[in-house]
Amino acid sequence: MRAPLLRRTSTLIVACGLMLGFPAMAKETLIFAHLYTESSPQHQNLLEADKELMERSGGKIGLDIKPRGLLGDQDSRLIDAVHFGQADMAFVGGPFAAQDYAPIGVVSAPFAFRDFTHWQHFKSSALAQELEVGYNKSNNNIMVIGYYYNGIRHINSKNPIRTPDDIFGLRVRVPNAPLYLQLFRALGATPVPWPYLRTYDAIKQGTVDAEENPLTTIEDGKFYQVAPFITLTGHMTDTGIIILNAKHMGNLQSDEQALLREVFDKLSDRLSEQIHVKEMEDMGFLQKNGVTFIPIDRAPLTAKVEAMVQGSSFAWSGDLYNRLQTIP
């Protein structure tokens, strides 16, 4: 019987506040979902972004960060969470964003980037902007608001891989996206789609022989504990994409939208630099923890995927891939 009194009291307080001219402080909390641990650079940068948003918006905009796949244990499920409103923002990979707008998959094409500098030049290029606009026009519910460098992907295995022939028949855990499946088939491996958060156990139990990820992710996921060999294939430069539920962007005032974009643009630059530095630091850390790094001749690997990148396998094959290559 006390609830009606509470409601009347609350209504009276609000009414008095309006009469006295107290400012409305309704906070727009954006739920940000990702797959990484709390110690990861991704999560730590989100904490920093939340702090900046809260300070600069006077408490009106903030983030509720959901790590470790709490709202989806794969990129595709994170996209669904944003699409259907369980989450407002997420980090996702290019091959998954490509399922809604195929050309954006070029950011994850095999051997597409020469080095980190090339990737940075892409991020500030007209091509990057065109891909963002194209994605946003093709999708009424979700929009891209930025890219970040997530490292160079290598094969992380239980047994040493020293030559391209050693990849033949290898059961490699990959994300469940067409690009990964086709890439590893082209390399002669047997790709096994498997949720990221179950990868450690899949290697430990022998479901797969190997997995592939950037060094920072191998370290964060502790995969090196069950797969102590890393072959430096550099088969893909991982580009993370920051997505946002378009409805929530529409809920913000124009100055708040500008603030959100500015904060996440800073996050993408800061996170990219940190991951690039951490890649180099992680080599030392992983070696100290029993990992053996194995160089490999990449020329035969690039030859095996030539048909993918220059044919008609994907919307980005050929002209779009070559346009990316011409960026200085």
Task: Give me the percent of the chain exceeding a pLDDT of 90.
Answer: 89
- pLDDT at position 140: 80
pLDDT top residue among 240 and 5: 240
Span 63-117, pLDDT tens digits: 999 999 999 999 999 999 999 999 999 999 999 999 999 999 999 999 999 999 9
C-alpha angle 80/31/71, rounded to 5°?
45
Amino acid at the residue 161: I
Max CA distance (Å), the chain: 77
Phi, then psi, of 83 in degrees rounded to 5: -60, -45
Of residues 181, 171, 150, 174, the one with CA closest to residue 36: 150
Query: What homologous superfamily does CATH list for 26-325?
Result: Bacterial extracellular solute-binding protein, family 7 (3.40.190.170)
User: Where do the H-state alpha helices sit in 21-147?
Assistant: 41-56, 75-84, 94-97, 116-123, 126-138
- pLDDT at position 287: 97
Structure tokens at 161: 């891989």
The pTM assigned to this predicted structure is: 0.87
Interatomic CA distance for residues 214 and 6, integer angstroms: 54
Q: Average pLDDT, stretch 51-61? A: 96
- pLDDT at position 11: 38
Of the pLDDT bands very low, low, confident and very high (cuts 50, 70, 90), residue 248 is confident
Q: What is the DSSP letter of 94?
A: H
CB 293 within 8 A of CB 283: yes
Task: Give me the percent of the chain exceeding a pLDDT of 70.
Answer: 92
The mean pLDDT of the chain is 91
The SS3 call for residue 314 is coil
- pLDDT at position 65: 98
Of the pLDDT bands very low, low, confident and very high (cuts 50, 70, 90), residue 26 is very low
CB 138 within 8 A of CB 99: no
Interatomic CA distance for residues 27 and 275, integer angstroms: 31
- pLDDT at position 54: 97
Q: Average pLDDT, stretch 223-238? A: 97
